[in-house]
Amino acid sequence: MRSMNRDFASSCVLCFTESWLSENIPDSTLKLEGFHLLRADRQASLSGKTKGGGVCFYINSGWCTDVTVIAQHYSSSLEYLFIHCKPFYSPREFASFILAAVYIPPDADAQAAQCALAEQILHMERTFPDSLIIALGDFNKANLSHELPKYKQYIKCPTREERTLDHCYSTISGAYRAVPRASLGLFDHVIIHLIPAYRQRLKLSKPVVRTKKLWSNEAVEELRTCLETTDWDTMKAASNSLDEFTDTVTSYIHFCEDSIVPSRTRVSYNNDKPWFTPKLKKLWLEKRKAFRSGDRDCYREAKYRFTKEVDIAKHQHSEKMQQQISENDSASVWKGFRNITNYKPKTPHSTDDLLLANTLNDFYCRFDEPSGSLHTSNGPNNRSTLDTHSPTSPPSIEPSPPSNTSPTTPPSSPHTKEDFTPPPPTTTLHIHEADVRKQFRSLNARKAPGPDGVSPATLRHCANELAPVFSGIFNSSLQACHVPACFKSSTIIPVPKKPRITGLNDYRPVALTSVVMKSFERLVLSHLKTLTAPLLDPLQFAYRANRSVDDAINMALHFILQHLDSPGTYARILFVDFSSAFNTILPDHLRGKLSQMNVPDPICRWITDFLTDRKQHVRLGKNVSDSRTISTGSPQGCVLSPLLFSLYTNCCTSTLQSVKLIKFADDTTVIGLISDGDESAYRREVERLVSWCSHNNLVLNAQKTVEIIVDFRKHTAPLPPHHPV
d(CA 147, CA 596): 64
Clarify whether residues 159 and 246 are in a common domain.
no
Q: Does 1 have pLDDT greater than 60?
A: no
Residue 282 forms part of a structural domain: yes
The mean pLDDT of 440-452, rounded to a whole number, is 92
- DSSP state letters, 322-387: HHHHHSS-HHHHHHHHHHHHT-----PPP---HHHHHHHHHHHTGGG-TT-----SSS---GGGS-
Q: Are 589 and 638 in contact (CB under 8 A)?
A: no
The answer to the question of residue 160 being in a domain is yes
Three-state DSSP at 46 gives: helix
- Amino acid letter at 42? R
Cβ-based neighbour number of residue 458 at 10 Å: 29
| Gap between the Cα atoms of 607 and 588, Å rounded | 10
Query: Are residues 477 and 606 in contact, defined by beta-carbon separation less than 8 angstroms?
Result: yes
CA dist., res. 218 & res. 389, Å (int): 49
- Give pLDDT tens digits for 118-151: 999 999 999 998 899 999 999 999 999 999 999 9
Whether 186 and 213 map to the same domain: the answer is: no
179 and 263 fall within a common domain: no
| 274 shares its domain with 414 | no
Q: Are 273 and 284 in contact (CB under 8 A)?
A: no
In this prediction, residues 56-75 reach a mean pLDDT of 95
CA 347, 348, 353, 355 torsion-angle sign: negative
Residue 164, classed as helix, strand or coil, is coil
Q: Is the dihedral of CA 41, 45, 46, 52 positive or negative?
A: positive
Residue 564's pLDDT is what? Answer: 93
* φ/ψ bin of 617: left (φ > 0), alpha (ψ from -120 to 50), beta (otherwise): beta
| 614-620 and 490-496 beta bridge pairing | parallel
For residues 243 and 473, give the distance between their C-alpha atoms in angstroms, rounded to a whole number.
Answer: 10
Q: Is 456 within 8 Å of 254 (Cβ atoms)? A: no
Read off the pLDDT of each residue in 666-695 and give the average, rounded to a whole number: 91
Q: Which residues, listed in sequence order, are joined to residue 709 by a DSSP beta bridge?
A: 572
Phi and psi of 628, rounded to 5°?
Answer: -125, 150
pLDDT at 417 over 70: no
What's the pLDDT score for residue 184?
A: 80
Write out the DSSP string of 96-157. -EEEEEEE--TTS-HHHHHHHHHHHHHHHHHH-TTSEEEEEEE-TT---TTT-TT-EE---S
Q: How far is CA 120 from CA 41, 98, 100, 107, 172, in A?
A: 19, 12, 10, 21, 19
What's the confidence (pLDDT) of residue 582?
Answer: 87
End-to-end CA distance of the chain: 73
- Interhelix angle 587-596/601-611, nearest 10 degrees: 160
Q: Is residue 38 part of a domain?
A: yes
Point out which residues pair with 79 in neighbouring strands.
74, 103
* Beta bridge partner(s), residue 268: 208
Is residue 515 assigned to a domain? Answer: yes
pLDDT confidence band for 44 (50 / 70 / 90): confident
**What pLDDT does residue 347 have?**
59
Is 658 among the domain residues?
Answer: yes
**Does residue 472 form part of some domain?**
no
Q: Is 12 helix (H, G, I), strand (E, B) or coil?
A: coil
How many CB atoms sit inside 10 A of residue 117's CB? 25
pLDDT one-digit tens code per residue, 345-399: 665 555 667 899 999 999 988 887 553 344 333 333 333 332 333 333 333 333 3
The reported pLDDT for the residue numbered 722 is: 64
Nearest alpha-carbon partner for 81 in 105, 112, 113, 103: 103
Output the pLDDT for position 410. Answer: 36
Confidence at 11, pLDDT banded by 50, 70, 90 = very high
Number of helices (H) and strands (E) in the chain: give both, helices first. 22, 22
Q: Are residues 158 and 183 in the same domain?
A: yes
Domain range for 689: 359-425+481-710
Cα angle, residue 224 at apex, residues 220 and 225 outer, rounded to 5°: 120
- What is the pLDDT, as a whole number, of residue 5? 63
Give the pLDDT of residue 388.
31
Last residue of a domain, one of 198, 216, 232: 198
Q: Stretch 335-343: mean pLDDT, rounded?
A: 75
Return the pLDDT at 405. Answer: 34
DSSP line for 404-435: -SS--PPP-----HHHHS------S----HHH
For 193-293, where are the alpha helices, taking DSSP H only? Answer: 201-204, 217-228, 232-238, 242-260, 278-293
Torsion of CA 259, 260, 261, 266, to 10 degrees: 40
Q: What percent of the chain has pLDDT over 70?
A: 88
**Residue 550 phi/psi, 5° resolution?**
-65, -35
Residues 671 and 696 in one domain: yes
> Of the candidates 171, 198, 225, which is a domain's last residue?
198
Q: Which of 341-355, 394-408, 538-552 has the highest mean pLDDT?
A: 538-552
Same-domain pairing of 652 and 524: yes
DSSP state of 505: G
Shared domain for 319 and 386, answered yes or no, is no
pLDDT in tens, 217-274: 999 999 999 999 999 999 999 999 999 999 999 999 999 999 999 998 888 887 788 8
Q: Is the model's pLDDT at 477 over the cut of 90? A: yes
- Report the pLDDT value the prediction gives residue 131, as an integer from 0 to 100: 94
189 and 252 inside one domain: no
Q: Look at 235 and 330; give whichever has higher pLDDT.
A: 235
CA distance 88 to 464: 57
Contacts of 277 (CB under 8 A, 6+ apart): 313
Instruction: Write the pLDDT tens digit of every residue in 278-309.
Output: 899 899 999 999 999 989 999 999 999 999 99
Q: What percent of the chain has pLDDT over 90?
A: 56
Instruction: Identify the pLDDT of residue 509.
Output: 86
Q: Residue 183 — pLDDT band, cuts 50, 70, 90?
A: confident
Domain boundary among 133, 166, 198: 198
Domain contains 444: no
Mean pLDDT of 639-661: 91
- Do 232 and 325 sit in the same domain of this protein? yes
pLDDT digits (tens, 9 = 90+) for 558-602: 999 999 999 989 999 999 998 888 888 999 999 999 999 989 999
Tell me: do 299 and 420 sit in the same domain: no
Kindly state whether residue 465 falls inside one of the protein's structural domains.
no
pTM of the model: 0.69
Q: Are 280 and 258 in contact (CB under 8 A)?
A: no
Give the phi and the psi of residue 665 in degrees, each rounded to 5: 60, -115
Distance of CA 716 to the CA centre of its chain: 45
CA–CA distance, 62 with 169 (Å, rounded to integer): 24
Q: Average pLDDT over the chain, rounded to whole? A: 85
The more confidently predicted of residues 521 and 185 is: 521
Task: Give the total number of structural domains in the chain.
Answer: 3
Q: What is the rounded distance in angstroms from the CA atom of residue 285 to the CA atom of residue 113?
A: 48
CATH number at residue 25: 3.60.10.10
Cα-based distances in Å from 193 to 5, 182, 188, 197, 640 = 11, 10, 16, 12, 63
- Whether residue 132 sits in one domain with residue 113: yes
Of the CA atoms within 13 Å of residue 536, those in its CB half-sphere come to: 25
| Confidence (pLDDT) at 351 | 61
Question: What is the predicted pLDDT for the residue at 233?
Answer: 93
Mean per-residue pLDDT, 627-631: 91
DSSP-derived 3-state class of residue 28: helix
Instruction: Output the pLDDT for position 132.
Output: 95
